[in-house]
Amino acid sequence: MALLLGVDTGGTYTDAVLIRDETDVIASAKALTTRADLAIGIGAAIRSVLSQSGEPAQNVSMASLSTTLATNALVEGQGGRIALIYIGFKERDLAAHGLSDALKGDPCLICAGGHNHAGAPVVDLDEAAIRAFVKEHHGSVSGFAVAAQFATRNPAHELRAAELIAELSGRPVSASHHLSARLNGPKRAVTAVLNARLIGMIDRLINRAEQTLIDLGIGAPMMVVRGDGALISAAQARERPIETILSGPAASIVGARWLTGAEHALVSDIGGTTTDVALLKDGRPAIDPAGARVGPFRTMVEAVAMRTTGLGGDSEVHVMAEGLKAGLFLGPKRVLPVSLLATEAPDVVHRALDAQLRNSVPGEHDARFLRAVSGLSQEGLGPRERALLDRIGDQVHPQDAVLRTRIEHGALKRLVDRGLVQVSGLTPSDASHELGLLTAWDGEAATKALALVARKRTGNGEVVSRSAGDLARMIVDQLTHQTTLALLEAAFAEEEDAFDLPEDVLARHVLMQRGLSGHRGLIRLSAGLNVPVVGLGASANVYYPAVGQRLGAEMVLPEHAGVANAIGAVVGRVTMRRSGTVTSPSEGKYRVHFEDGPKDFPDHEIALQVLEDSLRDQAREQAVLAGAGDIQIGVNREIRSATVEMRSVFIEATVTVEAAGRPRVATG
């Protein structure tokens, strides 16, 4: 008998499940995610499923972790401060693919070096500049990213830069050629920057999860879910944390398929921070050929074709009061629901809310609170940020009691972006407490927060809403509206016949919206989704019935939908893909671009076979290291050729090898 433990650490909840023999869920549980110390929430969830099942901890034969932590961090703009070494590029290349946005003002060195498309060096690497840059910044960053021109054709300069960084700083290094074998230097650089930013965060999560397993007496190895739904070892996830972006959403799709047996459906997973939508086709999620997109960033990470939107049960409620008519918008950032904070600091929260309600004029920061997150690095903070952190200390404070000048708003934003301060404010979860849809936290605090926001004024002087209940209904209706837009955008993106307009325009088009409402005038309009929607997430049964009704679609809400991520974490497979390229720099010369540098061969078939053999060995080795057994190998060759003077001329080939198998599990 194999007993499998799945854990998913989300922005709001940490879920755990126990599955026997890969067929039956025998226990499931939720605990609040404890950001200051993730082990507390993980331990609480695991202890609960062990208690429910009556199984001793030592019977667990495999543990696996999926997480939305990396995804949420990128959506919310969080992560450690890093430095980029950009080799062989120009200043203008920083604007490509959002690289300057990904850097967010962190230090960057553009220096000489790099190779051409054939893998030959263009100019010597400027080692002196790299040494000076690393010495200047290593004390204020958590890691380095390195990206060199055509590093996938010859990684020598990236490898040398990584050696220098290790020698001079000891900080972790993310080299772009380790993360993708494809061309496009700026996009690889974005991926390396985001990877470097996430290393500390994912390392802390894995450390705490592994220690929790040990403390509970679970000796089974721990796996981690990758962004394409496959499983990797904890050591592999530490090295390449960027591969865990969309880990939680990918696990939810695997879980949705396992729970429902659906062959063709949209899967929509609502969490505290994000809504993730993907298409199941022929029972399998598609891999995004352009690389995973999270928030504003397009990466080169292989992941499921998923659309992630900053919309969840804990999304920040924004009141758009500038126009003549009140309006709401949710997200993209998550805040801690006031009703939840009130269970942890009831005196502070209720005292502040009552005082704000007594004021005759609404305040800018009404129903908003701040608290510091302990245990994170404060390297690189300026004096204003440090002063704010000292003022907050280890207590919960109303936001208006902390901010004293307008200039401190920028300092607070930087602290929130670094994850050093957590903001609490009004959310759909609070609205659901007011409407009786949720009862887990402090409903009275939710009512007070809603009343404070409801009395804000629009441009014509009218209040946003007449009562807390009316505002709560407006918020839930807005969540329904934004969720339908997310599903429509995903559906339009996957349509085989293009509509020649962007998906967001099509989803919001007046004809689409009137069609959903069943317009009947001189013209009859009808529109809706033509496939079922599988709704997942702890709050899916609260919000998604109305979404299905709006879209005219069957809404499937399976049992255990709230822990689908944790289920997907343990029913997936280990899959390792390795890719390489063969080019022809001149007639009769075929160049294989290995990770340790290019090598030439006189025949293209020999070159392709040598590359394939190398990739087979790499993929198999990585699958074994990840814990796979009964490994199966698949090979795909994509060869580009041209016809010149009636004969076929080899241009380039890409070889991809996939090694896959279920994790080895001890049975008892």
On the 0-12 / 13-18 / 19+ scale of CB atoms within 10 A, 60 is: buried
Give tens-digit pLDDT for 489-529.
999 988 988 898 999 999 999 999 999 999 999 999 999 99
CB neighbourhood size of 522 (10 A): 5
Q: Prior bond to 598 cis, omega within 30?
A: no
Residue where the block lists tokens 């609480």 = 44
Mean pLDDT of 194-220: 87
Q: Where are the alpha helices (DSSP H) in 495-580?
A: 503-508, 510-516, 540-551, 564-571
pLDDT digits (tens, 9 = 90+) for 608-655: 999 999 999 999 998 998 888 889 999 999 999 887 777 788 989 999
User: What is 152-205 written as a DSSP string?
Assistant: TT--HHHHHHHHHHHHHT---EEEHHHH--SS-HHHHHHHHHHHHHHHHHHHHH
**Residues 568, 555 contacting (CB under 8 angstroms):** no
pLDDT at 5: 95
Contact partners, residue 176, CB within 8 Å, separation at least 6: 145, 146, 147, 148, 151, 158, 185, 188, 189, 191, 192
Residue 572: its pLDDT value, please? Answer: 84
Q: How far apart are CA 19 and CA 149, in angstroms?
A: 47
Q: Taking the model in full, what pTM does it have?
A: 0.74
95: DSSP letter: G
| Of the candidates 64, 58, 35, the residue with the CA atom closest to the CA atom of residue 216 | 58
d(CA 499, CA 137): 49
On the question of pLDDT at 568 being above 80, the answer is: yes
- What pLDDT was estimated at residue 325? 62
* pLDDT tens, position by position, 250-303: 888 889 999 999 999 999 999 888 898 999 988 888 777 777 776 677 777 778
Q: Which residues pair with 94 in a beta bridge?
A: none
pLDDT exceeds 80 at position 179: yes
Spatial separation of the C-alpha atoms in residues 205 and 9, rounded to whole Å: 9
